[in-house]
């Protein structure tokens, strides 16, 4: 095992720790860790990421069941269009992307480069969301839950499409949607988003099982380490300010996104 592989497994632990500490965001690191440290092909990395993200989110969601923080009705309304979009994206859209997308002068944007660039853009957008996030809990804890079904379904389709392409959970899109469109309190929005992410990611991964060969031993070890990191993160949450950490992590994600763009283009 070389130094990059060791760092890769440490990255798996870090993904879980971040999820445990701040309730989301850690999954955005999964693809870069798999590609740059574990030397996994970008298309395969987005597939593996769906499994890691889905399993980790499921563990987080199950932790919230006894607390009665999950709004199952909202989860179903959001998750159905989301997992349909993810499955179709992984099953048909991603395999249909040509190996060479387009060329500019003597530089060719390949499928792998295109996916990593798109992923990096999503990372930068997610980082801005983490850095600028404010506590909007005000009166939401007592506000009656209501539903804007058309917009929730549309948001589910969009998030599903993005998740299918880049393999990230999309919590930075789902949580604001649940707060604004379903009027969920922030704590319920975070807990419900974990269930939505788990369902759509794992169902989306099924589309990959049918299309590619999966290294199950590696994937289960990597995922197991990440899940273990969640419990470590939950423990560390007793000593670390999650809100301050989230902003710092947001800056880290932004730098990672910029690095990926630079690395892929130059």
DSSP-derived 3-state class of residue 167: coil
Domains: count for the chain: 1
Q: Rounded distance, CA 157 to CA 82, Å? A: 5
> Nearest to residue 127, comparing CAs of 256, 241, 234?
256
- Expressed as residue numbers, the domain containing 247 is 3-265
Q: Rounded distance, CA 93 to CA 178, Å? A: 27
pLDDT at residue 138 in the model: 43
DSSP-derived 3-state class of residue 266: coil
pLDDT at residue 137 in the model: 47
Q: What is the mean pLDDT of each run of 10 residues along the chain (266 residues)?
A: 91 86 74 93 91 89 86 89 90 91 86 91 86 58 62 86 82 78 81 87 86 92 93 81 77 91 90
CA 147 to each of CA 140, 150, 181: distance values in angstroms, whole numbers, following the listed order: 14, 9, 6
Between CA 129 and CA 134, with CA 130 as vertex, the angle to 5 degrees is 85
């Amino acid at each position: 095992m070389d130094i990059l592989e060791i760092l890769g497994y440490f990255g798996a632990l870090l993904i879980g720790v971040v999820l445990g500490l701040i309730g989301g965001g850690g999954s955005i690191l999964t693809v870069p860790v798999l590609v740059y440290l574990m030397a996994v092909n970008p298309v395969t990395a987005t597939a593996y990421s769906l499994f890691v993200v889905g399993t980790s989110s499921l563990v987080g969601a199950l932790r919230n069941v006894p607390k009665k923080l999950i709004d199952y009705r909202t989860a179903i309304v959001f998750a159905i269009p989301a997992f349909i979009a993810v499955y179709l994206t992984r099953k048909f859209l991603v395999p249909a992307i040509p190996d060479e997308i387009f060329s500019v002068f003597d530089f060719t944007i390949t499928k792998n480069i295109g996916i990593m660039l798109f992923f990096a853009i999503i990372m930068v957008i997610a980082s801005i969301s983490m850095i600028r996030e404010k506590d909007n809990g005000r009166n939401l804890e007592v506000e009656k839950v209501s539903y804007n079904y058309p917009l929730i379904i549309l948001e589910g389709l969009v998030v599903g499409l993005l998740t299918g392409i880049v393999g990230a959970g999309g919590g930075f899109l789902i949580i604001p949607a649940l707060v604004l469109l379903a009027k969920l309190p922030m704590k319920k929005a975070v807990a419900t988003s974990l269930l939505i992410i788990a369902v759509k990611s794992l169902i989306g991964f099924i589309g990959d099982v049918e299309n590619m060969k999966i290294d199950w031993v590696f994937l289960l070890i990597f995922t197991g380490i990440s899940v273990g990191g969640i419990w470590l993160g939950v423990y560390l949450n007793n000593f670390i300010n999650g809100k301050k950490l989230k902003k710092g992590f947001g800056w880290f994600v932004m730098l990672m996104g910029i690095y990926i763009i630079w690395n892929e283009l130059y």
